[in-house]
Chains A and B, each alone.
Chain A
Amino acid sequence: MSILQVQNLGKTYRQGKQTIDAVRQVSLSLHAGEILAFLGPNGAGKTTTIKMIAGLVRPDSGQVRLNGLDPHRQAQALKAVGAVLEGNRNLYWRLTPLENLEYFGVLRGLSRRVARQRGLDWLGRLGLEHKRHATVQTLSRGMQQKVAIAVALVHAPKLLLLDEPTLGLDVEATQTVKAIVREIAASGCAILLTTHQLDIAEALSDRVAIIRAGAVIAEQPTRELIRQFSGQSYRIELEEPLPAALAPRLAPFDLTIADRQLTLHRGDLLYDLLEKLRPLAIQEIKKDTADLTEIFLKLVQEKTT
Chain B
Amino acid sequence: MIALFLAELRRSWIQFIRYPLEAILGVFISTITFYFLFMGASYIAGPGVNLSDSAGAERLDVLVIGYVLWILTLFVLTETTNSLEAEAKTGTLEQLFLSPFRAVTVFLLRALAGLAIRLILIAVSLGLILGITGSRLSFPPLLLLPLVTMLMSTYGFAFLLGGLLLLFKQVRQLLGGLQFGLLLLIGTPVENLAGLGRLVALMAPMTPSAGLLRDLMARSVGLDWAMFGIALANGVIYLGLGLWCFSWAERLAKQRGLLSGY
Contacts and interface: CB of A to CB of B under 8 A. Distances in A.
Interface string A26-58: 000000000000000000000010010011111
Interface of B: 3-4, 6-7, 10-11, 14-15, 18-19, 90-92, 94-102, 106, 251, 254-257, 259-260
A56 B94 contact: yes
A94 B14 contact: yes
B166 to A, nearest CB: 12
Given A13-B256, A58-B254, A109 B90 contact: no
A106 B75 CA distance: 27
Given A95-B15, A107-B95, 7 more contacts: A11-B257, A55-B97, A58-B255, A86-B260, A88-B90, A93-B90, A99-B10
A55 B10 CA distance: 27
Contacts of B7: 102-103, 106-107, 112
B257 A135 contact: no
Contacts of A75: 99-102
Contacts of B92: 90-92
Contacts of B4: 106-107
A87 B88 CA distance: 12
B24 to A, nearest CB: 16
Contacts of A135: 18
A99 B18 CA distance: 12
A106 B113 CA distance: 15
Interface in A151-208: 151
Contacts, number: 101
Nearest to B258: A57
Given A75-B100, A76-B100, A85-B91, A13 B106 contact: no
B15 A108 contact: no
A89 interface: yes
A299 B144 CA distance: 68
Contact of B94 (A85, A102, A107): A85
Interface string A59-93: 00000000000000001101101110111111111
Interface of A: 11, 13-14, 48, 51, 54-58, 75-76, 78-79, 81-83, 85-95, 99, 102-104, 106-109, 111-112, 135, 151
A90 B14 contact: no
Contact of A112 (B3, B91, B251): B3
Given A57-B257, A58-B254, A99-B14, A106 B98 contact: no
B11 A99 contact: yes
Contacts of B14: 94-95, 99
Nearest to B259: A56
**Which of A75, A89, A111 has the most chain B CB atoms closer than 10 A to its own CB?**
A75
Nearest to B89: A88
Nearest to B91: A88
Given A95-B15, A108-B99, A89 B106 contact: no
Nearest to A136: B90
Given A107-B96, A109-B100, A90 B3 contact: no
A93 B14 CA distance: 11
Contacts of A11: 257
Contacts of B101: 75, 107, 109
Nearest to A109: B100
Nearest to B19: A94
A17 B106 CA distance: 35
B98 A83 contact: yes
Among B18, B91, B256, residue most surrounded by chain A Cβ atoms (within 10 Å): B91
Contacts of A95: 11, 14-15, 18
A113 to B, nearest CB: 10
B85 to A, nearest CB: 14
Residue among A56, A58, A135 with max Cβ neighbours from chain B (10 Å): A56
Given A95-B14, A135-B18, A51 B98 contact: no
Contacts of A106: 3-4, 6-7
A109 B106 CA distance: 12
5 contacts: A55-B97, A75-B99, A75-B102, A92-B11, A92-B90
A60 to B, nearest CB: 9
Contacts of B6: 106, 112
A93 B256 CA distance: 28
B128 to A, nearest CB: 27
B100 A94 contact: no
Given A103-B11, A106-B3, A112-B7, A89 B91 contact: yes
Contacts of B257: 11, 13, 48, 51, 56-57
A56 B254 contact: yes
A132 to B, nearest CB: 14
A56 B99 CA distance: 11
Contacts of A91: 90, 92
B100 A90 contact: no
Contacts of A89: 90-91
Contact of A92 (B3, B15, B100): B15
